[in-house]
Amino acid sequence: MVNGMSGAGPITHFDASKFKTHFACEVKGFDPLSVVDRKEARKCDRYSLFAIYAAKQAIEDAAFDLEKEDKDRIGVIFAAGIGGIKTFEDEVMGYERTKDTIGPKFSPFFIPKMIADIAAGHISMLYGFRGPNFATVSACASSTNAIADAFNYIRLGKANVIVTGGAEAAVSPSGVGGFNSMNALSTRNDSPETASRPFSASRDGFVIGEGSACLVLEEMEHALARGAKIYAEIAGTGLSADAYHLTASHPEGLGAKLAMRNALEDAGMKPEDIDYINVHGTSTPVGDVSEVKAIQEVFGEQAYKLNISSTKSMTGHLLGAAGAIEALACVMAIKEGIIPPTINHEEGDDDPGIDYNLNFTFNKAQKREVRAALSNTFGFGGHNSCAIVKKFVQ
């Protein structure tokens, strides 16, 4: 992200030559057997394998002595916007091919591989975590909702630790075809790496991505008592609904404004306390403009002192995993004192509906002390979810 490198390239998971979009941000070189053994891999959709892989990294980085931890007090809340769509595809297409010869034939793993909650189940079983365990599903807001739920369960005293995040693996014929039919995806097939261009006039849709990100949330006293490595503090979260349209955001950003204000109120913070916003910024014509309007109304003059960036310009849109990877971008911005850019904006490619006096951190990372950062995620159905992370001061 800091280097401003796009992960977009030609789709390799299937032949996309007859689709309107031929590219995506695929996870490259992923070996399922680096996650689980061959027998277990057969029981997991790609999205679950991503989730397990990210959770292993996060739990290892958290450096728990799991022999000393009360596993009844460690939970897993993990999101997916869609879940095992490729498993669903494969099984239904397999049935269609064979129904007239051998009749209905489905894998016994079909349902447990497909369902959106199963990644959370896999992680809990792998480590024996018996605390709160479920999935959140709110389209592209899913993993920010997971973070919000994890945060609140810990605040309520229901757990000491919650492993949270999101995973998605929807670079498949039905995933790409479905979004193509809505004209939601960029079709810049001649230049995939420049296709995601949030806040530019020439933007023509988002770039679908896949992957997973995971955070370990821990009650502060519990973390301090064991000498945990603390990257940042979750300060507050905010949720809302647009109550407006099946897929489009409210043109004036009403739900986005409410979610951001709710997050600030929950954190006990003011607009001037925020230094960076990792925006939803999907590179869609309506969504980008409405989010900018919402930020200007909520933050007022502070909006012009913020750094704003859309890391989707590099990662693509990870749907149900977007909130987790973007929350991590906020955490690392705080830790490293550097704002990742919004890439692919070209001189003269300005949208008259966007105020370019705002600092969109175009094309190059910027060094800055970040006291607190806000992550915005908005999903189909009008779901809005925001999380604020801040520098931890003991």
The neighbour count for residue 291, using CB atoms within 10 Å, is 28
Half-sphere exposure of 257 (CA within 13 A, CB side): 14
The neighbour count for residue 108, using CB atoms within 10 Å, is 8
Query: Is the distance from CB of 102 to CB of 31 less than 8 angstroms?
Result: no
Q: Decide if 140 is catalytic.
A: yes
Cα distances from 31 to residues 34, 36, 255, in angstroms, run 5, 10, 40
Could you give the maximum distance between any two Cα atoms of the chain, in Å? 68
Q: Annotated catalytic residue: which of 122, 280, 345, 383? A: 280
**CA separation for the pair 3, 156 (Å, rounded):** 39
Query: Is the distance from CB of 198 to CB of 310 less than 8 angstroms?
Result: yes
| Numbers of helices and strands, H then E, in the chain | 12, 13
Q: Decide if 44 is catalytic.
A: no
SS3 state of residue 394: coil
Q: Annotated catalytic residue: which of 122, 250, 317, 345? A: 317
Q: Annotated catalytic residue: which of 25, 140, 214, 386? A: 140
**CA separation for the pair 372, 370 (Å, rounded):** 6
Q: Decide if 214 is catalytic.
A: no
Q: Which residues are catalytic?
A: 140, 280, 317
